[in-house]
Amino acid sequence: MTSAPCFKALLASVVLATSTITSAQDLIDAGRFSALKPGSAIPAQWVPLTFRNIETLTRYTLVADNGSTVLKAESSKSASGLIRRFDERRIEIKDFPILKWRWKVGNLIKGADIATREGDDYPARVYVTFRYDPARAGAGMRMQYGLAKSLYGEYPPHAGINYVWDGRAPVGTMLPNAYTARAMMFVVESGARRVGEWVEMERNVYEDYKRAFKEEPPPVSGIAVMTDTDQTAEAATAWYGDIELRRAR
């Protein structure tokens, strides 16, 4: 079985995309899938999130579900995601701290284990990445990120907050990703109780970032979704509804 690289939760081959902000300046639409037609192409703003040494990719399509268009993810021994990048403008998570989305999973992953590399698979995850700034990094991090840039052609994010649907770890669990401490995992849904149901989610990313990394967050670099089963060689299906960042009430 192919192993994912140590930056699995952070690195990708991506291109720039534009963000959408309402005239009221109170929310940022990361993914307004409900405004699209089932069967249409994935919006250009959402680009593939792929990883070295992983050839089988998760399939993402726009489908109808209960009268609304959503993003469907189908993974079979595969790993890839979609990311909406915000490199063209500066978005401070302190200004738009509330991340809202809805999701549904068709099944759990039996062999998943949030604490191990061998079990680093999730039926659904939504995560926020933060821009790397060499001025904020120590010598060791600058060296590490410089090596990553030489391999991938760009810096990986400074950090990532991953919101996951896990099979066993209880809701409220927070721990570093099995591959890198620069990606923190938050279990926001767990177990089979609501498998097959749409679940509405809302998180204060600003507060979660400070709790996870004990520092003020840099600007947002992207929002991503991913359904992956490459480590466990299983299969999973998930659906993602609209995703947005909002100002705090």
Average pLDDT (126-131) is 93
Has residue 120 been placed in a domain?
yes
Confidence of residue 180 (pLDDT cuts 50, 70, 90): confident
Has residue 84 been placed in a domain?
yes
Alpha carbons 115 and 119: distance in angstroms, whole number: 7
Q: Nearest 5°: CA angle at 237, between 232 and 241? A: 130
Identity (one letter) of the amino acid at 11?
L
Has residue 9 been placed in a domain?
no
Q: Which two tokens stand for residue 34?
A: 């409900």
Q: Which two tokens stand for residue 232?
A: 């466990």
Identity (one letter) of the amino acid at 49?
L
Supply the range of the domain harboring residue 54: 20-246
Q: What is the pLDDT of residue 79?
A: 95
Has residue 160 been placed in a domain?
yes
Q: At 206, phi and psi to the nearest 5? A: -60, -50
Question: Higher confidence at residue 16 or residue 152?
Answer: 152
Its pTM stands at 0.85
Has residue 5 been placed in a domain?
no
Q: What mean pLDDT is reported for the chain? A: 85
Has residue 1 been placed in a domain?
no
Which stretch of 11-20, 76-85, 87-96, 210-219 has the lowest confidence by average pLDDT?
11-20
For 19-52, the pLDDT digits (tens) are: 444 434 889 999 999 999 999 999 999 999 888 8
Is a pLDDT exceeding 50 seen at residue 140? yes
**Phi-psi region for residue 196, left (φ > 0), alpha (ψ -120 to 50) or beta?**
left
Confidence of residue 143 (pLDDT cuts 50, 70, 90): low
> Which candidate, 164, 181, 166, 11, places its Cα nearest to that of 101?
164
Is a pLDDT exceeding 80 seen at residue 155? no
Q: What is the pLDDT of residue 29?
A: 92
Has residue 15 been placed in a domain?
no
For 45-62, the pLDDT digits (tens) are: 999 988 888 889 999 999
Contact indicator for 240, 73 with CB cutoff of 8 Å? yes
Q: At 235, phi and psi to the nearest 5? A: -135, 150
Spell out the residues 6+ positions from residue 144 whose beta carbon is closer than 8 angstroms to its own: none
Q: What is the pLDDT of residue 8?
A: 47
Number of domains in the chain: 1
Share of the chain above pLDDT 90, in %: 71
Is a pLDDT exceeding 50 seen at residue 9? no
Is a pLDDT exceeding 90 seen at residue 6? no
Q: What is the pLDDT of residue 19?
A: 41
Q: At 210, phi and psi to the nearest 5? A: -65, -40
Domain CATH for 233: 2.60.120.430
Q: What is the pLDDT of residue 137?
A: 60
Task: Count CB neighbours of 118 within 10 A.
Answer: 14
Is a pLDDT exceeding 90 seen at residue 164? yes
Has residue 228 been placed in a domain?
yes
The radius of gyration of the chain's CA atoms, rounded to the nearest angstrom, is 17
